[in-house]
Structure 1
Amino acid sequence: MTTGIRAAHPEDRDALGALKLRSSLAWGDHVEELRAMPEAREVPAAHLPHVTVAESAGQIVGFATVLPGDAADRAELEDLFVAPEAWRKGIGSLLLAEAERRAKALGAGTLEVVAGERARPFYEASGFRFAGTVQTDLAPAVRLQKDIR
């Protein structure tokens, strides 16, 4: 089946939030903490104009959110989630390529992401490089960045 990319619609918010939580829980890490965090199951309405959805057979199978960064030449990959049953099918790479395109459209030359250790290899294989460590609500994570000029 083919996977299409489209902009998110307001009526997608519930499905996106459910996918975000399901994808986060699939690794089995921090389960109770994630279930207790409202933001683990929400996509803020203000983010919707910045969300790209991957759809296959009429079902949302992933999404990515690219926000303008705190510097004019930077953008932040806020979210990239793929439904666990769709992992390892190229959807994450498809969404990441679209995220890079959107970041460039924002005028960014650098795309940044905060990633946990399980996601780090995916981003590094896609050209992201270590830029520092950060403390998230759940655990330490890495800040990665990619030159997209």
Structure 2
Amino acid sequence: MTLAIRPYESRDWDAISRIHDAARLDELRGAGLLDAYLSLADTYENEGLFDDEVWIAEDAGRVAGFLAGSVGEQGGEITWIYVDPALYRRGIGRALVEHFIARAGGPVELEVLDGNGARDFYEALGFVLASTTTGKLAGNESFTATGHTLVWTPGAASA
């Protein structure tokens, strides 16, 4: 695997849509919220995908995953991260998160739905539970969901 992380380009849209739409089903299945599924095309504007920096993980010229997040003076927040389900467990998510952590220069926060297996992945990278809340599901507010806020802090654990 020859993995590279680079900024999003408009030519990546079809690939990130395909990846999101496949991986979002896995995310919602684990949370028992399959009925809440909406495609990336249906949600990206309302959820502000392009309000943040968007990074592409590319393997041998093929888009393998993407991450969006914002970096501020005090750290950062990962708002979107999806990996092609055909490429799970190959270091793509780790590479995206490590790239973002290096850019953030401070604590990094993200939210994960209750029941989403990705929580174990984030905790293995050193993220710890900061809070749990129940409310409207981002992107499809007609559904209620429980989410966990996880935080990675420099020096507390190594990514």
1:147 aligns with 2:153: yes
Higher RCO (CA-CA < 8 Å; seq separation 6+): 2
Structure 1: gaps (5+ residues): none
Q: Distance in 2 between matches of 1:114 and 1:27?
A: 12
Q: SS of the counterpart of 2:37?
A: helix
Mapped partners of 1:22, 1:43: distance in 2: 20
Are 2:112 and 1:115 equivalent residues in the alignment? Answer: yes
SS of the aligned residue for 1:26 comes to: helix
User: Superposition RMSD on alpha carbons, in Å?
Assistant: 2.4
Structure 1's 84 and 131: CA in aligned 2 closer, same or farther, altered over 3 A? same
The structure with more strand, counted as a fraction of residues: 2
Runs of 4+ in 1 over 4 A off after TM superposition: 40-43
Structure 2: gaps spanning 5 or more residues: 138-143
Please report how far the alpha carbon of residue 2 of structure 1 lies from its aligned counterpart in structure 2 after TM superposition. 1.3
Deviations 1:73-124 (A, max 9, x none): 13111111110000011111111100101212xxxx2100101232111111
The equivalent of 1:128 in structure 2 is 127
Q: How high is the TM-score relative to the length of structure 1?
A: 0.81
Instruction: Please give the TM-score of this superposition, normalised by the length of structure 2.
Output: 0.77
Letter in 2 for 1:51: V
The alignment of Structure 1 onto Structure 2 pairs a total of residues equal to 141
d(CA) in 1 for partners of 2:70, 2:17: 17
Structure 1: distance between partners of 2:28 and 2:128: 26
CA distance in structure 1 between the aligned counterparts of 2:63 and 2:70, rounded to whole angstroms: 21
Cα distance in structure 1, aligned partners of 2:19 and 2:71: 23
Instruction: Give the percent of matched residue pairs that are identical in Structure 1 and Structure 2.
Output: 29
